[in-house]
């Protein structure tokens, strides 16, 4: 990649916007094209740093660690929507802690008095929580400051994003058609956003492979409650029964939530495949295409590591 080179980034979710920021700040002339600005899946995320429903492990660890470093820096500025937050992950079946959590600051087993009734193991640690609407706005502002531009439009193909010497494909589930990629599948997730009754700590349950999740993520005045992970479902309509069940699960663990007012329902479909696709190829017309999609339940967690790897691939061309 040379300074001033025209790069089109397809997609304005967390993958596309982070990649666009990295490339624009490296001196490229970046133009983002996306149907949704910002991307709906990214808006629906909770979001906590931590790998979930994503492979391959070695690369996920590397991308995740790099992103963790960046999120720690971003947390110093409240306008980013990133907060370093202490809290508990607990299990009802004495599971060992997730390996990604043990290296986090403040990691320690909970006192049994700290665990909600019915839980047999719990761990306390401090991790970035990201308020996605605020954070995606921050990325858009940062892209603008670096000279990047944004255009709202549905693409019928990746070639439709040209002319450009480089096209970066960050279209999430849209890559099923645009790449095309039959390995991609949706994993539906639903969150309920409520008023914050005074919570400052997160809580999440290690629910293993269950499709019913339990997470409580405070973001200042609001709390994101979750959740679900329904494999191969991409319907984005709110499900009232699911929302009621999420509220009941969360209020059982944190009774103050029983009186919280529901503000919003956020639904998204995690773009999932056997492994994140991050690779470069050359289209028939000579355009360099870099794919950066398929981040499953961890697109926020991996965003900076993946974006910087796209930058490194392009620098090497």
Q: Does 268 bind ligand FAD (CB under 6 A)?
A: yes
Figure out which of the listed residues 155, 158, 306, 314 binds ligand FAD, where binding follows CB under 6 A.
Answer: 155
* Closest distance to ligand FAD from the beta carbon of 79 (Å): 20
Residue 28, burial from CB neighbour count under 10 angstroms (0-12, 13-18, 19+): buried
What is the rounded distance in angstroms from the CA atom of residue 200 to the CA atom of residue 243? Answer: 22
Q: Does 249 bind ligand FAD (CB under 6 A)?
A: no
Q: From 12-20, 79-87, 89-97, 283-291, give the range in contact with ligand FAD by CB under 6 A.
A: 12-20
Nearer to ligand FAD (CB atom), residue 180 or residue 255: 180
DSSP-derived secondary structure for 105-167: TT-EEPPGGGSPTT--EEEEEEEEEE-HHHHHHHHHHHHHHTT-EEEE---SSSGGG-S-SEE
* Closest distance to ligand FAD from the beta carbon of 113 (Å): 27
- Sites for ligand FAD among residues 16-45 (CB under 6 A): 16, 34-36, 39-42, 44-45
Nearer to ligand FAD (CB atom), residue 35 or residue 252: 35
Tell me how many residues contact ligand FAD (CB under 6 A): 40
Token pair of 136 as six digits = 């995606």
What is the rounded distance in angstroms from the CA atom of residue 276 to the CA atom of residue 273? Answer: 7
Nearer to ligand FAD (CB atom), residue 18 or residue 91: 18
- Sites for ligand FAD among residues 55-114 (CB under 6 A): none
Check residue 260 and report its DSSP letter. P
What is the rounded distance in angstroms from the CA atom of residue 214 to the CA atom of residue 191? Answer: 10
Q: Would you give the binding string for ligand FAD spanning residues 205-234, x where CB under 6 A is met?
A: ----------------------x-------
Q: Would you give the binding string for ligand FAD spanning residues 46-65, x where CB under 6 A is met?
A: xxx-----------------
CA distances from 77 to 64, 83, 100, 138, 142 (A): 20, 9, 25, 11, 13
What is the rounded distance in angstroms from the CA atom of residue 25 to the CA atom of residue 46? Answer: 27
Nearer to ligand FAD (CB atom), residue 148 or residue 174: 174
Token pair of 302 as six digits = 């991996």
Nearer to ligand FAD (CB atom), residue 121 or residue 225: 225
What is the rounded distance in angstroms from the CA atom of residue 130 to the CA atom of residue 75? Answer: 9
What is the rounded distance in angstroms from the CA atom of residue 60 to the CA atom of residue 302? Answer: 7
Nearer to ligand FAD (CB atom), residue 44 or residue 260: 44
Q: Does 314 bind ligand FAD (CB under 6 A)?
A: no
CB of 23 within 8 A of CB of 5? no
For ligand FAD, the binding residues (CB under 6 A) are 10-16, 34-36, 39-42, 44-48, 154-155, 170-172, 174, 178, 189, 191, 227, 268, 270-271, 293, 295-301
């Amino acid at each position: 990649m040379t300074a001033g080179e025209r790069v089109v980034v397809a997609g304005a979710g967390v993958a596309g916007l982070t990649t666009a920021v990295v490339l624009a700040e490296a001196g490229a002339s970046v133009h983002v094209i996306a149907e949704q600005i910002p991307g709906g899946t990214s808006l629906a995320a909770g979001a906590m740093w931590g790998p979930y429903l994503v492979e391959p492990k070695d690369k996920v660890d590397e991308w995740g660690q790099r992103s963790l470093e960046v999120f720690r820096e971003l947390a110093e500025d409240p306008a980013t929507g990133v907060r370093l937050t202490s809290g508990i992950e607990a299990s009802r079946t004495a599971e060992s802690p997730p390996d990604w959590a043990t290296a986090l600051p403040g990691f320690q087993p909970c006192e049994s008095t700290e665990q909600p009734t019915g839980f047999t193991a719990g761990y306390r640690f401090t991790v970035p929580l990201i308020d996605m609407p605020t954070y995606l706005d921050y990325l858009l502002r940062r892209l603008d400051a670096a000279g990047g531009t944004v255009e709202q439009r549905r693409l019928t193909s990746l070639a439709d994003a040209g002319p450009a010497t480089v096209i970066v494909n960050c279209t999430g589930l849209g890559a099923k058609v645009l790449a095309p990629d039959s390995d991609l599948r949706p994993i539906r997730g639903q969150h309920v956003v409520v008023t914050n009754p005074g919570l400052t700590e997160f809580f999440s349950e290690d629910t293993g492979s269950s499709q019913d999740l339990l997470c409580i993520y405070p973001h200042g005045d609001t709390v994101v409650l979750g959740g679900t992970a329904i494999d191969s479902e991409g319907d984005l309509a709110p499900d009232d029964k699911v929302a009621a069940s999420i509220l009941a699960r969360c209020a059982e663990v944190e009774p103050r939530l029983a009186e919280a007012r529901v503000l919003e329902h956020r639904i998204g479909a995690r773009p999932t495949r056997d492994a994140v696709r991050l690779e470069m190829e050359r289209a028939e017309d000579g355009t360099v295409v870099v794919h950066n999609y398929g981040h499953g339940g961890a697109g926020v967690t991996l965003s900076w590591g993946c974006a910087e790897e796209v930058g490194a691939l392009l620098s090497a061309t």
